[in-house]
Structure formats: structure tokens, C-alpha cells
Structure 1
């Protein structure tokens, strides 16, 4: 059934005028008349009594009008709700992130984001492996490193620095290494990739000199999960080499102590990635804005990244 013809019939029934119905719908009177004639032909029922002076409903037309009026009202409400959903953050937001970053940074951020956007359901998939956002259906990824895959757009949200540290108890018993060469005299816990089974080398430099410590050749323990490496360090197993965001709470509390502080270590950019060919949905845009606000990111002109007025006000007031 032609919905435009149904709407034309309802407008005529309400106004008792082809001319007024045409004005409301932006059509001509003859166009309205033809639409209703098609509707009557399709249903096989006369819906309107037409005279030169007025338009009235037949008994069948009155019954049809009552039902069609309610149906059009429901359709209008559905359209409004659809437009609202398309403009407000809602639905399932799928994020993939490294395990250590998710535990240390992402998970603590989410309660406030959920307070701001209660209609967004966050689904996280945690892995240190690189997944394909597009093929695997993710909205966003958090990646640590400079390589941005093709077909993806990135937003830089921070920097990860490597930190060598150990428990205070371990250092009181074994002493502090004075140079990276001294690591050979210490118990060290190495990270081994669960996928490649390769060990991550420890890198340092001071002035013009650099050190690459092949930790896999000298480590007393090898672990393939960053959180367990932190647990090992807290238990006094030895010196570990981790991203600062993983160990920062323990450094702040004093349960872990940084060593070789006079030596520089590599830095890696932290990016939010999302498919370049997709238009940003409200839920993705909301998470990007929220993340950049939380990290105090500024744009190239030096201005703090602007949130939407609604989100900014919510962040300042703490309301949802």
C-alpha cells in the first residue's frame, strides 16, 4: 500500500478539503485527488463522498481513517526516535586494546564515559596481537607504536615510555644497578611475545652511548603476560622493563622503585584507530572526544580539543 496515498487520505479526512491537504503536504489538489483515487482502486472501497461543496467520509472511510491516523502517528514517532538515535551516542561500541593498557588506563576511564553516555554498551576485546578492525568488526582500536595500517585513521592520545624497576625489597637485598651493564649481575624478568615467542630487548642510552640488552639471553624468568610480570616484580623476582602506564601506580605507591633513571629509554606513541572509510558514528565520536579530553590533548593550533557542548557540560558537572 502506498503510504503517501494513505497520508493524503488522512489529511483530507482531517481537513475535509483537498486544497488544505495539498497545502500541508506540499502537493497540488489534483495530485491529492489522484492519490486517493489510486488508494480506493487498490482497496476496492470508496473512502470519500465528494460533492462540489464538501468532502465527507463514507462509513468504511471513517473506520479506515481511525486506523490509518494511529498508524501514521506511530510511524512519525518511529522516525523521530530513529533520528534521535542517529544523532545521540547509543548502541554497542566495540574496542580492541592491549591487555596492559586496558587494565591500567582504559578500564578506569570507562565508568565516567558510561555515566556520560548511558545508552552506549562498551565491548572490549583485549589482546596484545594486532587484529583487523574492519574484518573483525571493531569500531576502535588502541595501538602502541608508530605504524598506522592503511585504511585506518588515527588520533594520537599519549606516549608510552619504557621503565626499568624492581621492588624495594629486591633492591635493598641486591643493590641498584649503576649502568645497563650491571643488569648482567641482577635477576631480570623478561617479556616474551605470546605470538612470536621473541623476547623484547631492553634499550637505554646516555649522551652519545646506547645499550641494547639481549635480556632473553640472561633472564632468570620469562613471562608472556605484562600483568604477571608486574606481579613477579612486586613479589621480588627481580628487575623488569615495562611501559610506564603499567607500573606507574606501583611507582607512585612506592611498591616498585625505578632504576637507571639517568638513562633514557624509547618512547612509543599511543593512538586511537578507526576505519577511515566509515563516517564517524555518534558513539565513536563521543569516545574519541572523551578520550582526548581526559588526556588533555591539544590540536595543531595549540587549543584543547573541543568537546560537544553537552559532553563538556557533563564532564564539568559530573552528571549524566
Structure 2
């Protein structure tokens, strides 16, 4: 038995909560996972996992063993990575998770430039607007827009994203252009709202000007839980909405959307690179995060804001 590999397999089962997910993340047959666990339990003369047809739980001895082995495996990974990092360019498979708009409008279009710098990195990109379990899903890094609720995760702020309030020309032709945020609830306007797919909580519409803040709870006809759907709904003339500048930018540039209430702003959203706790930050993760931070910092949304100020 390869004891180190068996320990890695055991750790993946604990982190993912499933023999099947552990096998998938390690790219081995499920039977191999079972054999590694059985061999490890025989080696330590202790039952480490309780397995039923519905779930896998860790025994008290298994929890203690996991705590010590995860630390040992992290040290081994750090030792191996530090040697590789000192002698070679970043390489290998990188698993990331990115929100849908950030992936399709920012990250993926710029990847050819990334591969000119780091041709030996292979990237698996999971795309959705929901937080994932980094440990269970074996994700190396997540680019997340918005605050991080799980304080156990390691997060690095890489950018701030300004909002812009927009509507379609057809909508404004039918309903008129609001001159104040309070017009949104008082003059027959409709909003397109966005809600959290996890908590179902509706995002607020916040407006600030000269130190004054106005929270608007205007009527809405459509609410969605995904950024591309939000854009589609606004383009269809279903209402006014606040969206992140980089999403709105191309539609504003070609006249498909119009900015409204330009003197009223909203607190920008922070973008974070998020890592699992107690996992060594490899060279491939470091260079990707540094590249993503630079990419977000020079995106056209910055130009959109400066152009608006110069034209006012």
C-alpha cells in the first residue's frame, strides 16, 4: 500500500463527505478509494469512517487522524511545491470557480494572454453565481463577487466593481426617465431585481449622493438569480436595474442600454480570490490570482466611470 496516497484518499473522503465525490476528484475508480480506506484502517488498527448507504461520517478516531494527516499532507505539498517553484515555471492543473458574468466577460476572453505567459497551466473552470464548497469540490481558487460569509476561508481582495443604473431605450420611451431615486417607486416605474440563489434574499437598490443615501423598494415584474438573466431582462425592457459596470459597458457603448440617475452611486462590490484553509498556495494559483487582479483593475468599467465624470 502507498500510505501517503491512502492518506490523501482518506482526506478527500472526509472533505467531500462521499466516496463517490472523492473518487471523482482524484480521478480514480470508486473501488480504489474503498481499498485505500480499508488498507489504512488495517494499518492503524482503527475504524476511521462510518459508511452507510446514505452518507459517510467520521469516527472520533478518524477526526483526530484527519487533523494530523491533513497537516502532514500540507507540509509535504508545500515541500514539493517549493522545490518545483524554485526550478520551474508554474505548471499543472488548476481548478477555479468563477461567477458567470465574470467568467464570460472578463476571465475567459483574456485567457489567450494568460497562456502566452503560462502555457503549461491547464485550467478547469466551474461557472455559476453560487458559492461552492472549496474543500468538498476540490477547488484551488474561487473568484467571488461580494462579501464572504464563511470566515474560515482565506480571501484576498483583488478589485472593487462600481455599479451603474440602466434601462433600455424602449423602456424609457414608454415610462420616461427618472430624475430621482424616489421616482422609481412613485411614478409607475418597474425594477428588475436580483436575488440570492442560496438564501433567496432580494438584493436592495441603494443610491448615494453628497453623503445622502436612499434605499428604494420599487415594484418589480421580474426577479432573477443570475447576472446574464438580469442583463437579458433589462435589455428586453422589463424595467430599470443596477448592474456591475463591466456587464453594462458594452451595451451602453452600443446604445442598447442607457444610464439613468448618473449622479447617484452605489457602494462598489468587492471581488475576492478565495482559497481553502490550510492549503498551500501553489505557484500556479499565485500567478493566476495576480493576473486576475491586474485584469479586473484595468477593465473598461474604469473607463466608463471616468468618461461619465468628464462629460458631466
TM-score range, shorter chain: 0.5 to 0.7
1:206 aligns with 2:209: yes
1:123 aligns with 2:144: no
Counterpart in the other structure of 2:191: 188
The 1:200/1:84 distance shift into structure 2, 3 A limit, reads: closer
1:257 aligns with 2:261: no
Name the CA distance, whole Å, in 1 between partners of 2:198 and 2:128.
11
Counterpart in the other structure of 1:140: 141
**Deviation of the 1:206 alpha carbon:** 2.3
RMSD after superposition: 2.6
Name the CA distance, whole Å, in 2 between partners of 1:267 and 1:146.
11
**Deviation of the 1:257 alpha carbon:** 1.0
Name the CA distance, whole Å, in 1 between partners of 2:296 and 2:282.
21
- Name the SS of the counterpart of 2:258 in structure 1: strand
Q: Deviations over 1:226-278 (max 9, x none)?
A: 21121121222221221222212212222111111111212121111223533
Name the CA distance, whole Å, in 1 between partners of 2:93 and 2:260.
43
The 1:118/1:211 distance shift into structure 2, 3 A limit, reads: same
Counterpart in the other structure of 1:156: 157
| Deviates further, 84-93 or 224-233 | 84-93
Q: Deviations over 1:155-192 (max 9, x none)?
A: 32211222210112221332110111111221321113
Unmatched 5+ stretches in structure 2: 1-82, 299-312
Conserved 8 A contact 2:147-2:270: yes
1:225 aligns with 2:226: yes
- The structure whose Rg is larger is 1
User: Could you state the TM-score of these two structures normalised by the residue count of structure 2?
Assistant: 0.62
Name the CA distance, whole Å, in 1 between partners of 2:121 and 2:114.
9
1:272 aligns with 2:273: yes
Counterpart in the other structure of 1:240: 241
Conserved 8 A contact 1:87-1:282: no
The 1:109/1:214 distance shift into structure 2, 3 A limit, reads: same
User: Could you state the TM-score of these two structures normalised by the residue count of structure 1?
Assistant: 0.60
Conserved 8 A contact 2:85-2:283: no
Q: Deviations over 1:18-43 (max 9, x none)?
A: xxxxxxxxxxxxxxxxxxxxxxxxxx
Q: Deviations over 1:210-237 (max 9, x none)?
A: 221224xx10122222211211212222
Name the CA distance, whole Å, in 2 between partners of 1:89 and 1:234.
42
Counterpart in the other structure of 1:99: 100
Conserved 8 A contact 1:148-1:154: no
The 1:155/1:121 distance shift into structure 2, 3 A limit, reads: same
Counterpart in the other structure of 1:11: none
Conserved 8 A contact 2:106-2:296: no
- Name the SS of the counterpart of 1:265 in structure 2: coil
- Name the SS of the counterpart of 1:133 in structure 2: coil
Unmatched 5+ stretches in structure 1: 1-81, 298-320
